[in-house]
Copies of this chain bind each other. A is one copy, B any other.
Amino acid sequence: MADKQPANNLAEQVMARLGADIRGGRLAPGTRLPTEQDLTTQFGVSRTVVREAVAALRADGLVVTRRGSGAYVADPAAGPFRIVPPRATSLPDIINVMELRLAVEVQAAALAAERASRKQLAAIRTAWRAIDAALQRGEGAVAEDFAFHRAIAEATGNDQFPRFLAYLGSHVIPRQSVRLEVDTPAERRLYLERIQVEHTRIVMAVTGGDPVEARRAMRDHLTRSLERYRKLAGGKKNGRG
C-alpha cells in the first residue's frame, strides 16, 4: 500500500485516489461516481485532468462510462493483476515471483503429460532440440529455454497457462542474464548442460504420458534454479512472521 510515489502529473494523482476509493470498497460496484464537474471542484483541477484520470481507470476496467448518464464503478476485482511495481525489483522479489512460476509450471508439466496432442508433443521436442543446437553454438539459449517452457504450457490445452507464464517470464527472464555474468565460462557451460539433462527428463516424462514423473521432473528442475538464486541472495530468509 506504500506505493506513494509522487507523480508529477495531476491526472495520476486523481486516478490514484479514485482507484484507491474503488479498490478499498469506499465506492461500491455499480455506484455512480461524481460528475466530472463535481470532481473538478473536489480535487481543484481542470476537467482535462479529471477526464484523463477516468480514462486511465476505464483502461484498468475499474469504471465504465455511459455518455449522457455518468461513470459507474465496475467490479473492483476487474482490475488487472500486476506482479510488482516496475521499478524496485529486488532479488527477494524475483525469488518470490519464481516460486509462483514454479507452482504454475509444475502443474503445467503434469497437464501436458496428460493431454498433449501429437502436434504439441512435436513442438516440445522441437523446442528441446533447439536448445541443444544453441548450446552447441556456444550460446546461452535463454530464448530457446523460454520457448521450451512455453511449448509445455501450451500443451496443457489451457490457454491460461501460457498466457500467465509469458507474463511471469517477462518479469524474471530479463534479470536472468545478470546471473550468468557471475559465472565463469566453464561453470556456465557445465550449468547449461546440466539444465538440458533436466529438460530431457521432462520431455521423456511428458511424451511418455506420465504426469507424476513430469511433475517431479519439472519441480526438481525449477527448484534447482531457485536454489541458485537463493544462494545469491545470501541465504536470506523471506519469512516474515
Q: Which residue numbers of A lie inside 8 Å of B, CB to CB?
A: 8-9, 11-12, 15, 48, 51-53, 55-61, 65, 67, 74-75, 77-83, 86, 96-97, 99-100, 102-104, 106-108, 111, 115-120, 156-161, 163-164, 166-167, 170-171, 238-241
Contact = CB atoms under 8 A, between A and B. Distances in A.
A18 to B, nearest CB: 12
Contacts of A104: 100, 103-104
Count of this chain's copies in the oligomeric assembly: 2
A78 B167 CA distance: 8
Q: Across the A-B interface, give the 8 residue pairs with the lowest CB-CB distance, nearest first.
A: A117-B241, A80-B80, A77-B170, A103-B107, A56-B59, A52-B55, A81-B167, A81-B81
Contacts of A117: 239-241
Contact of A48 (B48, B80, B116): B48
Contact of A61 (B78, B86, B107, B160): B86
Interface of A is mostly: helix
B59 A15 contact: yes
A228 B126 CA distance: 36
A78 B163 CA distance: 14
29 contacts: A52-B55, A55-B56, A56-B56, A56-B58, A59-B60, A75-B86, A75-B170, A77-B167, A77-B170, A81-B81, A81-B164, A83-B160, A96-B160, A99-B107, A99-B156, A99-B161, A100-B158, A100-B161, A100-B164, A103-B103, A103-B107, A103-B108, A104-B104, A106-B107, A117-B240, A119-B241, A120-B241, A157-B240, A158-B238
